[in-house]
Amino acid sequence: MAEKIKMLTPLVEMDGDEMTRVIWKMIKEILLLPYIDLKTEYYDLGLKNRDATDDRVTAESAAAAKKLGVAVKCATITPNAQRVKEYGLKEMWKSPNGTIRAILDGTVFRAPIVAKGIEPLVPGWVKPITIARHAYGDVYKNSEMAVEEGAKAELVVTGKNGETRRLIHDFTDTGGIIQGVHNTDKSIRSFAKSCFDFALGVKQDLWFATKDTISKTYDHRFKDIFAEMYENGYKDGFNKAGIEYFYTLIDDAVARVMRSEGGYIWACKNYDGDVMSDMVATAFGSLGMMTSVLVSPEGAYEYEAAHGTVTRHYYRHLEGEETSTNSMATLFAWTGALKKRGELDGLAELSAFAEKLEKAAVRTVENGVMTGDLYAISTLEDKKKVSTEEFIRETEKNLNG
């Protein structure tokens, strides 16, 4: 066997939960370790270890990502009441992704993996749509409470020159709920910067939308910051690259996206990006075909699959049943991280291997060998549904074939 490909700086490896943890191990053992002298700084973000470390491991892994620059993350459980019981947790720990995003700041770019035979549900979408999701604040960093009947809710801001109050609602004849959300000019600026830079990098138009007609201060601030940064820093570059920046209202954007042919970056506020990326991923084929990378303003990259831990498949796996879970997005998280590491460390061989591995996985699907999620939608005539492991083994054959 040829000599293994060398690495210089380790990747930050964030292991996770359930079916994706099973896939994680297979990818490493079958597709990476035999070919690469894999260097990683390992953090176990599996729920058991998060609980054992009082979730310190999550913050530590994010700090490592900041320091080393490139991380690869497995999907993780975000605990709810049922999970607290299932795992006997000390606390309902916060979403690891939320914690990591809060530490790294930045923007999440999600793009579908395109393969022949997996046709988008929207026939007009001939090019991929990349969703750029703002990864900080709004409803993900909220403060909310239930309010009893008869209460009066106000926003109170204590500034240098005293207090400002705004009525939220007088709950005179019924109780209800309230929520306080925030964002910062700094975070919105770095969101805009990542989007403009990313668009220039891939030479695609950038779309952005909010609800500034209704939210005249909050959403309007996003619109203004984007506009100001575009006018004062990016307009010339965009003109030279032959691309455009386009702003509209979020509902108008949705309508235009459906009618578009794809091939642009769609920048979304945090919640819009959460929802729209699942819609776009599903319409492009499967959640198992959506990649995700968090780009921090300081230039740290964290790669992951956009989907979760595929719990339903995992429970079947535990019962000893054979699963057919798509490993593409998790594999592309690894290859994305390895390519970036190769680029940053000047290791062309490492980047080339990652690229070759991606092509081998896509070729496997295009040759008609695929997991159940793709089998259900593939337009290929000659197709075969294979198990989780068979798909990875077939990809290995294609890698060497």
Strand segments (E) across 16-115: 40-44, 70-73, 107-112
Rank residues 133 and 339 by Cβ distance to Mg ion and give the closer one: 133
**Binding residues for ligand NAP restricted to 365-384, rule: CB under 6 A:** 373
The strands making up 264-268's β-sheet, listed across from edge to edge, are 40-44, 11-15, 70-73, 301-305, 290-295, 107-112, 130-134, 264-268, 205-210, 245-249
Residue 282 interacting with ligand NAP (CB under 6 A): no
Q: Does residue 288 interact with ligand NAP by CB under 6 A?
A: yes
CA distance 150 to 378: 57
Using CB under 6 A as the binding rule, whether residue 296 contacts ligand NAP is answered as no
Q: Which does 56 bind (CB under 5 to 8 A by kind): Mg ion, ligand NAP, none?
A: none
Residue 367's nearest CA partner among 397, 389, 336, 327 is 397
The least CB distance from residue 363 to Mg ion, in Å, is 29
Q: Does 75 bind ligand NAP (CB under 6 A)?
A: yes
Q: 274 is in the binding site of which of Mg ion, ligand NAP, none (Cβ under 5 to 8 A by kind)?
A: Mg ion
Q: Site for ligand NAP (CB under 6 A): which residue of 49, 78, 367, 387?
A: 78
Site residues for Mg ion, 256-295, by CB under 5 A, read: 274
Residues listed for the chain: 401
| Token couple for 148 | 């009893």
Residues 320-359 that bind ligand NAP (CB under 6 A): 325-326
Strand-strand pairing, 11-15 and 70-73:
parallel
**Of the candidate residues 133, 307, 339, 340, the single one contacting ligand NAP (CB under 6 A):** 307
Residue 34 or 372: which CB sits closer to ligand NAP? 372
Tell me: does residue 205 bind Mg ion (CB under 5 A). no
Chain position whose Cβ is nearest to ligand NAP: 308
Query: Mutual orientation of helices 348-366 and 328-345 as an angle, nearest 10°?
Result: 160
Q: Which does 312 bind (CB under 5 to 8 A by kind): ligand NAP, Mg ion, none?
A: ligand NAP
Among residues 283, 308, 359, 387, which is the contact residue for ligand NAP, using CB under 6 A?
308
Tokens of 92: 């309902």
Q: Phi and psi for 112 in degrees, rounded to 5?
A: -75, 150
Residues that bind ligand NAP (rule: CB under 6 A) add up to a total of 17
Q: How far is the CB of 281 from ligand NAP (least distance, A)?
A: 9
154-173 residues near ligand NAP, rule: CB under 6 A: none
Q: Minimum distance from CB of 2 to ligand NAP (Å)?
A: 31
- The pair of structure tokens assigned to 149 is 């009947």
Residue 188 is which amino acid?
Answer: I
DSSP state of 64: H
Looking at residues 170 to 229 of the shown chain, list those that interact with ligand NAP (rule: CB under 6 A): none
10, 31, 379, 389 from 327: Cα distances, Å: 23, 12, 20, 9
DSSP H/E element including 12: strand 11-15
Q: Where do contacts with Mg ion occur on this chain (CB under 5 A)?
A: 274
Q: Where do contacts with ligand NAP occur on this chain (CB under 6 A)?
A: 75-78, 97, 287-288, 304, 307-312, 325-326, 373
